A and B are shown apart, each in its own frame.
Chain A
Amino acid sequence: EAGVVQSPRYKIIEKKQPVAFWCNPISGHNTLYWYLQNLGQGPELLIRYENEEAVDDSQLPKDRFSAERLKGVDSTLKIQPAELGDSAVYLCASAYGTGGLDEQFFGPGTRLTVL
C-alpha cells in the first residue's frame, strides 16, 4: 500500500513569491493534517481536515497561508507571499478515521527554502 505522497520534495524560492505544496493521503483515509517543522523542533499542527471540512485551522496564519481539500482526498497548502521565516519542512499526515484517535501516517515532507 502506498504511503502519504507529497510533492515537491524540495522547493527554493525568493521571498515574496508564492509557493504551493501538494499532498495525496493514503487511500481511504478521511483525516488529513498539515504540519510545520522548523529546524531542531517537532512538528506543529497547521490545519486538520475531516473529509473536506477544515475542523481545526486555529494555528494556520491566515494572512498568508491557505489550504484546501476540495474532494476530501488530495490537499494543497499555499503560502503567498513567502517570507524568510517560512523556511521549514512542511509535513502532511493522514489517518483512517475521524475523531482524532487513529494513528497518523506521515509523508516525507516538503523542504522549503526562502531566500
Chain B
Amino acid sequence: DQQVKQNSPSLSVQEGRISILNCDYTNSMFDYFLWYKKYPAEGPTFLISISSIKDKNEDGRFTVFLNKSAKHLSLHIVPSQPGDSAVYFCAASWSGNTGKLIFGQGTTLQVKP
C-alpha cells in the first residue's frame, strides 16, 4: 500500500518558468511533510518542509502548498533553473513516529536552458 504517491514520474520545463511537482497521501495521521532533492550518485538532501498547521511555506524560489482536505501537497519552483534538474521526493511523517519518513516514488525534473 503506497501511502505517499507521486504520480508523475517525470516533468520537463523551460528555464525561467514555474515547476510544479505534486504529491498525494492517504494516511490521515500524517502531519509533517518534506521535500527532498536528489542528484545522481548522491544521497537525498532536504529541501523544504511544512507542518499540517500551515497551508503554505516559502523558502526563496521554493514554496510548498498543503491541502489537507484533499490530502495533497505540491512544490512550486519559481523561476526554474537548470541546476534544479534532479529527482524530487515527497515524504511524510507523523507525531510520535520516531522519525520514520514515508517517501513517494520520486519525480524527475528536467529544466531546459
Point out residues on A near B: beta carbons under 8 Å. Answer: 4, 31, 33, 40-45, 48, 55-56, 91, 93, 95, 99-109
A43 contacts which chain B residues (CB < 8 A)?
A: 44, 89, 101, 103
Determine whether B97 belongs to the interface, using a CB cutoff of 8 Å to chain A: yes
Residue in chain B with minimal CB distance to A58: B100
| Nearest CB in chain A to that of B41: its residue | A108
| Residues on A with beta carbons closer than 8 Å to the beta carbon of B91 | 42
With contact pairs A41-B105, A42-B4 given, residues A93 and B100 touching in the complex (Cβ less than 8 Å): no
| Residues B99 and A95 in contact, CB atoms below 8 Å apart | yes
Chain B residues with CB under 8 Å of A91's CB are 43-44
Q: Which residues does chain A contribute within 8 Å of B104, judged by CB atoms?
A: 42
Bound: A51/B15 CA distance, A: 44
Q: Which residues of B contact A101 (CB under 8 A)?
A: 32, 99
A-binding residues in B (CB < 8 A): 4, 9, 32, 36, 41-46, 89, 91, 93, 97-101, 103-106
In terms of DSSP, what is the predominant structure of the interface of chain B? loop
Whether A41 pairs with B106 at a CB distance below 8 angstroms is yes
Complex Cα gap A55–B100 (Å): 11
Q: Tell which of A4, A42, A44, A103 touches B46, judged by Cβ atoms closer than 8 Å.
A: A103
Distance in Å from the Cβ of B40 to the closest Cβ of chain A?
Answer: 10
CB distance A33 to B106 under 8 Å?
A: no
Interchain CB contact under 8 A, A106 and B44: yes
- Which residues of chain A come closer than 8 Å to B106, judged between CB atoms? 40-42
Which residues of chain B are within 8 angstroms of A104 by Cβ–Cβ distance?
Answer: 46, 99, 101
Chain B hits for A56, CB < 8 A: 98-100
Check A45 against B101 for contact (C-beta < 8 Å). yes
The answer to whether A99 and B99 touch across the interface, beta carbons within 8 angstroms, is yes
Chain A residues with CB below 8 A from B41, complex form: 108
Cβ of A99: which chain B residues have Cβ within 8 Å of it?
A: 98-99
User: Which among A91, A106, A108 has the highest number of chain B CB atoms within 10 Å?
Assistant: A106
Looking across the interface, which residue of chain A has its beta carbon closest to that of B4? A42
Residue numbers in A under 8 Å from B44 (CB-CB): 43, 91, 106
A45 CB contact (under 8 Å) in B4, B9, B100, B105: B100
